[in-house]
Amino acid sequence: MTTTQGRTAEQDLPYDVFSRACPSRGTLEHVTGRWGALTLGALYEGSFRFNELRRRVDGVSEKMLSQTLHALERDGLVHREAQPTNPPRVDYELTPLGRGVAERLAGLIAFLEGSMDQVLAARERYDARRPAG
C-alpha cells in the first residue's frame, strides 16, 4: 500500500534502521552478521543441540556461536529449551518471528548459491583489471 507521499505503509512504522539510535539496527546486525545469518539459516532446517549446530555452521567457534545464540534469543528469534537431564540437554529452534526472518534469509542464500558462477566470473574480471600488487 502506498500513501500520498509515495511511502509504503511499512515505511510509516515508528522504526528507521537508517537512524543511528533505532533499536532495529542492532537486530539487523544480529541477523545479517556472518554467524547470525548462518545460524538462522541452519535453524531453518530444524531444531539443533549446541554441538550439532556448531558442526552445521562450519568454522564458528564455541564462543561466537554462544554469543550469537544469546543475541538471537534476546531478539526473540531463537528459543532455547533446556531439558533437566543428566547431562543437561539444550535444544535451539526458531520462534515464529525467527522463522519469518529465516525464510527471507533462505531465499537470499538460495539466490546467492545459484548466482555464484556469475559472482566468480565478475571477481575474475575485476581482478584482471587491477594491477598486481
CATH number at residue 85: 1.10.10.10
Would you state the cell numbers that stand for residue 55, as one nine-digit string? 558442526
Average pLDDT over residues 2-29: 75
**DSSP-assigned letters across all residues of 54-113:** HHHSTT--HHHHHHHHHHHHHTTSEEEEEE--SS-EEEEEE-HHHHHHHHHHHHHHHHHH
Q: What does the pLDDT read at residue 4?
A: 41
Total structural domains within the chain = 1
Q: Does 9 score more than 60 pLDDT? A: no
CA–CA separation, 105 and 42 (whole Å): 11
Report if residue 87 sits inside a domain.
yes
Average pLDDT over residues 91-118: 97
Q: Does 81 score more than 90 pLDDT? A: yes
CB atoms within 10 A of CB 1: 7
Instruction: Name the residue range of residue 27's domain.
Output: 14-129
Q: What does the pLDDT read at residue 131?
A: 83
Report if residue 75 sits inside a domain.
yes
Tell me the per-residue pLDDT of 47-70, one tens digit each, with 9 for 90 and over: 999 999 999 999 999 999 999 999
Would you state the cell numbers that stand for residue 115, as one nine-digit string? 548466482
Report if residue 6 sits inside a domain.
no
On average, the pLDDT of the chain sits at: 91
Global pTM?
0.83
Report if residue 118 sits inside a domain.
yes
Report if residue 9 sits inside a domain.
no
Among candidate residues 16, 22, 28, the one with its CA nearest the CA of residue 77: 28
pLDDT interval class at 133 (50, 70, 90):
low
CB atoms within 10 A of CB 50: 16
Pairing mode, if any, of strands 89-94 and 48-49?
antiparallel
Q: Does 101 score more than 80 pLDDT? A: yes
Report if residue 2 sits inside a domain.
no
Share of the chain above pLDDT 70, in %: 90
Among candidate residues 91, 71, 87, the one with its CA nearest the CA of residue 31: 71
Q: Edge-to-edge strand order for the sheet containing 89-94?
A: 48-49, 89-94, 78-83
